[in-house]
């Protein structure tokens, strides 16, 4: 007479074996009829992308962007961290030609250092610009100015920003900047823009108050004097004062720099000179 324990164990093992075979067959059938077909180009494009998942392309991450490109829903040149080499390689995978890649960089449109402006009160809360903005719109006298708490610096995934000890403002390290736009997204004052690197002339101010009001809170703020408009050699002028703030039309600006020299408060910057100054500071720091 056989041992009942052995009989039970044998029966259980047999049942499990049959179930395993049944489930394996079901999985094979499900895989055959319900599998998601992935375009091999999508996988190739995802391998080409830098994997930063920064969202500068307008999609949730590199995988989403690769899928959109493979489906023909997105252009192959929208990955700014990858640069022109990445765009060309993706275009080759898709069998298309890519238009001229325009290098971009983050531009901080504020010069509100302690030399030019002041604080209305001492902020002692969390060192986060968004948190400070919730407290009477921030501590700075100029309501449009950089708060200098470094949220953009900490958010940058490429360590392309530092806090300048001399000014108390963030500074972009252009050689590292990929124009991903993360810094611009976290800035509650909207003073950071992603702009073409070849555009040298920028109005480094956001204040749209009257000239008199601006002078009371910042020595480097636009006072809407319109001198920039008058000296611009472009027909119709490439600089226009709208709502008390000068704005450069990048489509027509020839980067001559005349408006920079004419500005009485130095709120228009020429990045050719600013980059030279930054290079000198970097060399001095390295020495």
**CATH number of the structural domain spanning residue 157:** 3.30.70.20
Domain holding 63, by residue range, is 40-94
Same domain, 110 and 194: yes
Indicate the pTM of the whole model: 0.76
CA 192 – CA 206 distance, rounded (Å): 10
Asked if residue 128 and residue 84 are part of one domain, the reply reads no
Domain CATH for 75: 1.10.15.40
**Can you give the pLDDT at residue 36?**
64
Residues 193 and 162 in one domain: yes
- Whether 178 is covered by a domain: the verdict is yes
Co-location of 53 and 85 in the same domain: yes
> Over the chain (287 residues), what is each successive 10-residue block's mean pLDDT?
69 84 85 72 90 84 90 87 87 84 91 92 93 91 95 94 93 91 95 94 96 96 96 94 96 95 95 79 70
Task: Based on the fold, state whether residues 191 and 234 are members of the same structural domain.
Answer: no
Domain end among 166, 198, 230: 198
Residue 27 lies in a domain: no
Task: Let me know whether 207 and 194 are in one domain.
Answer: no
Please say which residue of 26, 59, 94 terminates a domain.
94
Q: What is the pLDDT of residue 163?
A: 95
* Domain stop point among 165, 198, 231: 198
Is residue 173 located within the same domain as residue 205?
Answer: no
Are residues 272 and 217 located together in one domain of the fold? yes
> Sign of the C-alpha dihedral, residues 201, 109, 162, 216?
positive
pLDDT at 130: 95
């Amino acid at each position: 007479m056989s041992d009942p324990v052995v009989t039970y164990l044998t029966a259980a093992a047999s049942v499990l074996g049959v179930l395993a075979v049944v489930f394996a067959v079901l999985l094979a059938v499900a895989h055959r009829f319900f599998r998601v077909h992935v375009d091999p180009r999508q996988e190739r494009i995802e391998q080409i992308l830098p994997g930063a998942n920064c969202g500068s392309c307008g999609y949730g991450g590199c995988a989403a962007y690769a899928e959109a490109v493979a489906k023909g829903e997105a252009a192959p040149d929208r990955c700014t961290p990858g640069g022109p080499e990445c765009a060309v390689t993706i275009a080759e995978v898709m069998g298309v030609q890519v238009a001229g890649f325009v290098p971009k960089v983050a531009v901080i449109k504020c010069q509100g250092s302690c030399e030019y402006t002041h604080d209305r009160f001492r902020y002692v809360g969390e060192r986060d610009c968004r948190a400070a903005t919730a407290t009477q719109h921030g501590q700075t006298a100029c309501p449009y100015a950089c708060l200098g708490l470094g949220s953009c610096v900490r958010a940058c995934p490429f360590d392309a920003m530092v806090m300048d000890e001399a000014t108390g403002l963030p500074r972009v390290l252009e050689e590292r900047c990929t124009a991903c736009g993360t810094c611009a997204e976290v800035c509650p004052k909207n003073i950071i823009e992603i702009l073409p690197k070849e555009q040298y002339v920028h109005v480094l101010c956001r204040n749209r108050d009257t000239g008199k009001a601006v002078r009371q809170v910042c020595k480097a703020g636009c006072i809407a004097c319109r001198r920039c408009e008058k000296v611009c050699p472009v027909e119709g002028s490439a600089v226009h004062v709208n709502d008390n703030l000068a704005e450069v039309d990048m489509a027509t600006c020839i980067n001559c720099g005349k408006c920079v020299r004419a500005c009485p408060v130095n709120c228009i910057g020429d990045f050719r000179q600013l980059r030279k100054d930054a290079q000198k500071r970097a060399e001095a720091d390295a020495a």
